[in-house]
Chain A
């Protein structure tokens, strides 16, 4: 923020004003209001940075300045500071096929990851150092072998096609699969992760899923292996081709070499695919996660099965219990029915005997009353009276018989007995059960 200048003068110091260190604190600031800043704009970001790192204005200024300064330095140096191998400097340019282009340019720690920018910078730096003119100035004329190496390396690395061909066979960038001994130490995920990261550079598809670690989900792990078992690689082996003679004299020889090269490439590609597959098989064989997922899946399946079995068992038991209960109930019902039957039979018999007994009383009563005649009764009279008694007995039911028998029971006087019978006859006639004329002896 530009410093504002105010033209109006400050007052002169009054006479006799004095304070320690020329400063006199007097008041306090009025209370402030809390408001929300809009988190927008460069100055807010600076504020946020200060607030989050608890920096004051001057600290923040200093740190920012330092960061900026460091960045510039980074750009200048850092990348290409590898020491040069004296053996490498002795290389012949014509052996370029066997040279490590990244090492020549001092990019061996970047390799396939080196950006075009880095390659260009590295190249420039090397050129400045190894240019033949500089060597000549140092008294070594015609020493341009390593310079040619540098040029060749740059030519290869800056051409995307050639660079891929070189990267395909760049063994320095390969990470060896871990041995069993290494794995025993328990770095399974780290070691194999590095292998697949390095193999991933050949992938046509990006992003390449990461190997993950112990905590990766089942989905991630499956995704990883699916990706790698269906790996789409751009790796080619043209770089290892035998030189095709380019003289026009022997066409057959040329074609022969070309064919040989093509076959060799194909073979190498197949071998490479097989190698990758074996790598994957080895890895998945040792992958604890797969085992764990399988166990979990099994456990889940078993759990389902056990649950099902338990359910079946339970169902069977319940069915059995239900059946037993039903049988028991049926049996009980049957027994009860039998008892009922017997009881009713007994009751019926009892009723029958009672009726018989009552009938005997009825018949006895008329006999006690001497068939309602003085002296010996004639057979006809007896018949008539008993016939009437039979008739009445036939017309009335067991209860009425019992009733009648109750009334007659104990009576010895003929008139009283007759009265009872008469009353009965009248009742029956009244009820319309007997016609008046039917009963002769008893109603007389």
Chain B
């Protein structure tokens, strides 16, 4: 991207980087498969923390451990400060580490990153004053370590990377990130948005089929939750709506466990000081609460033990998952509301959503996935470890997506990448209504068969095969626009049985959008029944296919050009020629 660091494509060694506010990951691709790299500590999620002890720099898990003993010289949660002015940053999470300061409007930290000069006996001869580092410098140092780990792992110097950013990163923040990476000696091939990186990680699996779908990506992180609705049309992604939340996140869950155990500690040791009132005890509490939370995502029980928590008293306790989910209910439900609000913001209904991708460390929590599966219909696939055995580790999704993208574009020149990601190429028309043909259902009613889904970027080309009438003969291919509406059926016990049967048939047409088990369940629960139905809109064209064989099929290809003109090509499957027309 930046001219100064452009590297010839053949000399590149590329990785994908997820530079998170809480944790970061690095990934590379081998044989078209993305792998997340474990750093020298063996971590695949590397805490975004730098710590200086006696002039030595520590990062990741080691630095995190120093939050207890050396909070003043440790800096954490700084990613979101990049490219921001001091007045617009939220320093809440930096309370337990180095505090951000305002140096001429630039967010900076004061850290003692050089050791005092000492004589042979270790006596301090001369004190080296703490240095003031801008967040830019901190990010550069951190990225340098991150990339250093990747280089060590790969055995080659990493030259270039694709880095993921939240969708709400503005140009200034992006520029700051690129500058920080360049300063760390990394050519940034591209910045890609986090939710789409997560979708790409799933879609790039060899077993996944290319299909038109609407995906909700819930990226639940440590200090923020970002949810995006992404339309995936023929493998091209368009973000339809996003929401960013700074209330419901992993740290909020940690806080609940911290409070829980602090209260329990006080109950057992009534004379002891509240561990939440002492910075060091609080740090210990926080570290252990996070570990307990992670353990609860895997097992049904987790222990919590801290030596010398407060007043020198050791504390050990356990908590089971049910208890945890009860006390964390308010936060867990917040995630639900957040996801629902974004779907609404996109002008869609939960029934329109085909997939929910859970990404980010907090997504390991089983309850979140379960809650989401309750608000979405059963046909919606919730891609989370607790609901799907084949799900990818949510913490690794973005890094994998970035690594895949990096491997895709590593052969391109920097200028080529720039041109391809230019607004002239990325800004395209998306059709508002679906385009399809009219078929008959069993009752002989006209139903809509979608071929090109709404929000498909043009130019687009789709081909479907539609059955001809059983007896063959001449058929009419009527190309129409269509859109969906949500039909709500009030439960009227037993009487409506017939009606819902026919409705069920209709939604079976709907690309198996809902299956009938779902509606049965709904009915048993005596809840109102909601279903997505296609409505036939404007007729675009009609075409005739003559003499279709018995049991034959008709192929319909719809080609929507960039200028929104439509070319319809239709013929009997296996036959030559066919009808072609433009409108």
Chain A residues within CB distance 8 Å of chain B:
1-14, 17, 19, 21-45, 47-52, 56-57
Cα distance A39–B425 in the bound complex, in angstroms: 9
Interface-facing stretch out of B66-74, B149-157, B192-200, B375-383: B192-200
8 contacts between A and B (CB under 8 A): A2-B209, A8-B440, A25-B541, A26-B541, A26-B583, A29-B560, A39-B190, A51-B428
Determine if B457 is an interface residue (Cβ-Cβ < 8 Å).
yes
Determine if B384 is an interface residue (Cβ-Cβ < 8 Å).
no
Chain A residues, Cβ within 8 Å of B425: 39, 47-48, 51-52
Cα distance A7–B465 in the bound complex, in angstroms: 9
Determine if B439 is an interface residue (Cβ-Cβ < 8 Å).
yes
Interface string of B401-412 (1 = CB under 8 A from A): 100110011000
Cα distance A26–B455 in the bound complex, in angstroms: 22
Cα distance A7–B582 in the bound complex, in angstroms: 26
Check B430 against A32 for contact (C-beta < 8 Å).
yes
Cα distance A45–B412 in the bound complex, in angstroms: 11
Determine if B95 is an interface residue (Cβ-Cβ < 8 Å).
no
Check B430 against A14 for contact (C-beta < 8 Å).
no
Chain B residue nearest to A43 (CB atoms) is: B235
Check B465 against A34 for contact (C-beta < 8 Å).
no
Check B235 against A19 for contact (C-beta < 8 Å).
no
Chain A residue nearest to B470 (CB atoms) is: A9
Chain A residues, Cβ within 8 Å of B511: 4
Q: Which of B428, B476, B553, B555 contacts A11, CB < 8 Å?
A: B476
Check A57 against B461 for contact (C-beta < 8 Å).
yes
Determine if B234 is an interface residue (Cβ-Cβ < 8 Å).
yes
Count the B residues whose beta carbon is within 8 Å of the partner chain — how many?
A: 95
Check A34 against B427 for contact (C-beta < 8 Å).
yes
Chain A residues, Cβ within 8 Å of B546: 13, 22
Closest beta carbon of chain A to B469's beta carbon, Å: 5
Cα distance A38–B560 in the bound complex, in angstroms: 20
Check B468 against A9 for contact (C-beta < 8 Å).
yes
A6 and B464 in contact, given A22-B579, A37-B237, A40-B197 (Cβ under 8 angstroms): yes
Interface string of B421-432 (1 = CB under 8 A from A): 101111111111
Check A41 against B458 for contact (C-beta < 8 Å).
no
Number of A-B contacts (CB under 8 A): 234
Chain A residue nearest to B436 (CB atoms) is: A6
For chain B, residues 416 to 466, give those with C-beta under 8 angstroms from any C-beta of chain A: 419-421, 423-433, 435, 437-441, 446-447, 449, 455, 457-459, 461-466
A45 and B429 in contact, given A6-B467, A9-B469, A39-B190 (Cβ under 8 angstroms): no
Interface string of B457-501 (1 = CB under 8 A from A): 111011111111110011111100100000000000000000000
A5 and B553 in contact, given A36-B426, A36-B427, A44-B236 (Cβ under 8 angstroms): yes
Chain A residues, Cβ within 8 Å of B564: 29, 31-32
A40 and B405 in contact, given A8-B441, A10-B468 (Cβ under 8 angstroms): yes
Cα distance A12–B431 in the bound complex, in angstroms: 29
Check A2 against B579 for contact (C-beta < 8 Å).
no
Check A38 against B468 for contact (C-beta < 8 Å).
no
Chain A residues, Cβ within 8 Å of B555: 3
Chain A residues, Cβ within 8 Å of B441: 8
For chain B, residues 14 to 59, give those with C-beta under 8 angstroms from any C-beta of chain A: none
Determine if B186 is an interface residue (Cβ-Cβ < 8 Å).
no
Determine if B559 is an interface residue (Cβ-Cβ < 8 Å).
yes
Chain A residue nearest to B212 (CB atoms) is: A1
Closest beta carbon of chain B to A6's beta carbon, Å: 5
Cα distance A33–B209 in the bound complex, in angstroms: 27
Check B430 against A33 for contact (C-beta < 8 Å).
yes
Cα distance A263–B542 in the bound complex, in angstroms: 93
Chain B residues, Cβ within 8 Å of A4: 464-465, 511
Check A47 against B457 for contact (C-beta < 8 Å).
yes
Task: Return the 9 tightest CB-CB contacts between A and B, nearest first.
Answer: A43-B235, A23-B581, A25-B583, A32-B429, A13-B474, A48-B420, A8-B439, A39-B421, A38-B237
Closest beta carbon of chain B to A223's beta carbon, Å: 17
**Other CB < 8 Å A-B pairs besides A8-B441, A26-B539, A40-B401, 20 of them?**
A2-B210, A3-B463, A5-B465, A6-B464, A8-B509, A11-B469, A11-B475, A17-B544, A22-B543, A25-B583, A29-B566, A34-B430, A35-B427, A36-B238, A36-B239, A37-B236, A39-B192, A41-B200, A41-B235, A48-B419
Cα distance A12–B469 in the bound complex, in angstroms: 7
Chain B residues, Cβ within 8 Å of A19: 542-544
Closest beta carbon of chain B to A299's beta carbon, Å: 30
Cα distance A35–B209 in the bound complex, in angstroms: 25
Cα distance A3–B211 in the bound complex, in angstroms: 10
Chain A residues, Cβ within 8 Å of B200: 40-41
Interface string of B550-583 (1 = CB under 8 A from A): 0001110001101011101000000000011111
Check B467 against A40 for contact (C-beta < 8 Å).
no
Chain B residues, Cβ within 8 Å of A12: 469, 473-476
Cα distance A35–B562 in the bound complex, in angstroms: 13
Q: Which of A7, A13, A35, A52 contacts B457, CB < 8 Å?
A: A35
Cα distance A34–B238 in the bound complex, in angstroms: 11
Cα distance A221–B431 in the bound complex, in angstroms: 57
Determine if B507 is an interface residue (Cβ-Cβ < 8 Å).
no
Cα distance A22–B435 in the bound complex, in angstroms: 20
Chain A residues, Cβ within 8 Å of B544: 13, 17, 19, 22-23
Cα distance A48–B457 in the bound complex, in angstroms: 12
A27 and B238 in contact, given A1-B210, A8-B466, A32-B430 (Cβ under 8 angstroms): no
Cα distance A30–B427 in the bound complex, in angstroms: 18
Cα distance A37–B234 in the bound complex, in angstroms: 12
Cα distance A1–B542 in the bound complex, in angstroms: 25
Closest beta carbon of chain A to B347's beta carbon, Å: 11
Check A9 against B439 for contact (C-beta < 8 Å).
yes
Q: Which of A2, A35, A56 contacts B428, CB < 8 Å?
A: A35
Check B433 against A30 for contact (C-beta < 8 Å).
yes
A30 and B236 in contact, given A2-B210, A23-B581 (Cβ under 8 angstroms): no
Cα distance A1–B204 in the bound complex, in angstroms: 14
Check B541 against A10 for contact (C-beta < 8 Å).
no
